[in-house]
C-alpha cells in the first residue's frame, strides 16, 4: 500500500492544479495561456503541476478586496465625502 503513495500524491497534485487552472481568470494567468498550462500539467506529471504552482498561478491580491480597487473605508472614499 505504501508503494502507491507517490502515485496517489502525484495524481492528487495533478487534479488540484487542473482545477486551479480551470478556475483561474484567463487574463491573470502568468507566463503562458490556459490551454498550454493544462497540457503541461497533464503531460508532465510531477514537474508540470509544480511549474504551475511556482510560475503560472495568479499572484494573490493580498487585500481580499475581490480584485477591484475600491477604498476600504467610507472616509477614504472621496465620492462618499463629497456627498456628505
Instruction: Look over the chain and give the mean of its residue pLDDT values, rounded to a whole number.
Output: 85
Q: Has residue 63 got a pLDDT over 50?
A: no
Per-residue pLDDT at 76 exceeds 80: no
Residue-wise pLDDT tens digits, 7-34:
999 999 999 999 999 999 888 899 999 9
Average pLDDT over residues 60-71: 56
Q: Contacts for 40-48 with beta carbons within 8 Å, 24 or more apart?
A: 41/14, 41/17, 42/14, 42/18, 45/10, 45/14, 46/10, 46/13, 48/14, 48/17
Give the mean model confidence (pLDDT) for residues 43-56. Answer: 94
The domain ranges of the chain are 1-59
Amino acid at each position: 500500500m505504501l508503494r502507491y503513495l507517490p502515485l496517489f500524491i502525484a495524481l492528487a497534485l495533478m487534479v488540484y492544479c487542473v482545477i486551479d487552472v480551470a478556475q483561474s481568470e484567463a487574463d491573470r494567468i502568468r507566463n503562458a495561456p490556459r490551454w498550454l498550462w493544462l497540457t503541461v500539467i497533464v503531460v508532465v506529471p510531477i514537474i508540470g503541476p509544480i511549474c504551475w504552482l511556482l510560475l503560472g498561478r495568479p499572484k494573490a491580491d493580498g487585500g481580499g478586496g475581490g480584485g477591484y480597487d475600491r477604498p476600504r473605508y467610507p472616509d477614504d472614499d472621496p465620492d462618499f465625502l463629497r456627498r456628505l
